[in-house]
Amino acid sequence: MNNELIQKLNRAQQGDQQAFKEVVREFMPQLYGMVYGIIPQHDDVNDILQEVFVKVHRALPQLQNKQAFRSWVFRIALNTARNHLRGKARRELPTEPEEFARQAGGDFDKTPEQLEQAEVRDQIFKALETLSPEHREVVTLVELEELNCAEAAEVLGTPAGTVRSRLHYARKKLKELLQPYFALRGDAP
């Protein structure tokens, strides 16, 4: 944790809204990636992150250990995403082509390379969705957010050995799931 961030947190704890906005801007990309890895729907992720930062804003004055802020905010985001998954039934795909295109992001103006990258990303996220929530969380934190096993263990509130074990089995399962797709493309997963 760098001194600049600690100073922003101190100012935010004292009610400086600009400092809090700067903290949000700094952590938003990481948290977005983590939550999207768990719930790959942009609208849901945005709702969850809004809820996360409301919780952080409310609880920030009581935060004593600013060095632990990163794992603290990740834990809040993870728990909020878990609660969202528990409380919301999966949405059905829209039947109207225009609505489907809007939700899919309107890929009509993308280059073939961008479409191919999007297809690979979609296959990976579809495979991630088949994992148990515990395995999906570990993969998201370690592979997508690039936390080490100790940091992921702190966020998840589990031993590092459990994180390593879950990561091993999740990678194995993902390889099995993605092998047929990449074999058709002539690539190795």
Domain range spanning residue 5?
1-89
- Please check whether residues 29 and 81 belong to one and the same domain: yes
- Please check whether residues 16 and 49 belong to one and the same domain: yes
CA–CA separation, 56 and 25 (whole Å)? 13
- Please check whether residues 63 and 129 belong to one and the same domain: no
Residue 22 lies in a domain: yes
CA–CA separation, 119 and 121 (whole Å)? 5
In CATH, what number is assigned to the domain containing residue 62?
A: 1.10.1740.10
Q: In this predicted structure, what is the pLDDT of residue 94?
A: 45
Q: In this predicted structure, what is the pLDDT of residue 115?
A: 66
- Confidence at 31, pLDDT banded by 50, 70, 90: very high
Residue 13 lies in a domain: yes
Residue 104 lies in a domain: no
Total domain count for the chain?
2
In this structure, what token pair is assigned to residue 28? 């938003």
Which of 36, 54, 89 delimits the end of a domain?
Answer: 89
Instruction: List, for residues 64-83, the tens digit of each pLDDT value.
Output: 888 889 889 999 999 999 88
- Please check whether residues 73 and 146 belong to one and the same domain: no
Asked if residues 136 and 37 have their Cβ atoms less than 8 Å apart, the reply is: yes
Q: Pick the residue with more confidence: 87 or 44?
A: 44
CA–CA separation, 19 and 82 (whole Å)? 28
99: exposed, middle or buried (C-beta count within 10 Å: 0-12, 13-18, 19+)?
exposed
- Please check whether residues 43 and 120 belong to one and the same domain: no
Which of 16, 30, 53 is closest to 151 using CA atoms? Answer: 30
Res 105 pLDDT > 90: no
- Please check whether residues 80 and 138 belong to one and the same domain: no
Which of 169, 164, 168 is closest to 153 using CA atoms? Answer: 164
- Confidence at 122, pLDDT banded by 50, 70, 90: confident
Asked if residues 141 and 86 have their Cβ atoms less than 8 Å apart, the reply is: no
In CATH, what number is assigned to the domain containing residue 156?
A: 1.10.10.10
- Please check whether residues 57 and 123 belong to one and the same domain: no
3-state percent helix, strand, coil for the chain, nearest multiple of 5: 80, 0, 20
Residue 80 lies in a domain: yes
Q: In this predicted structure, what is the pLDDT of residue 186?
A: 66
Res 89 pLDDT > 50: no
Q: Which residues, at least 6 apart from 4, have a Cβ–Cβ distance to it below 8 Å?
A: none
In this structure, what token pair is assigned to residue 124? 């990976």
What is the length of the chain?
Answer: 189
Residue bearing tokens 């194995």: 172
As a whole number, the mean pLDDT across the chain is: 82
Residue 67 lies in a domain: yes
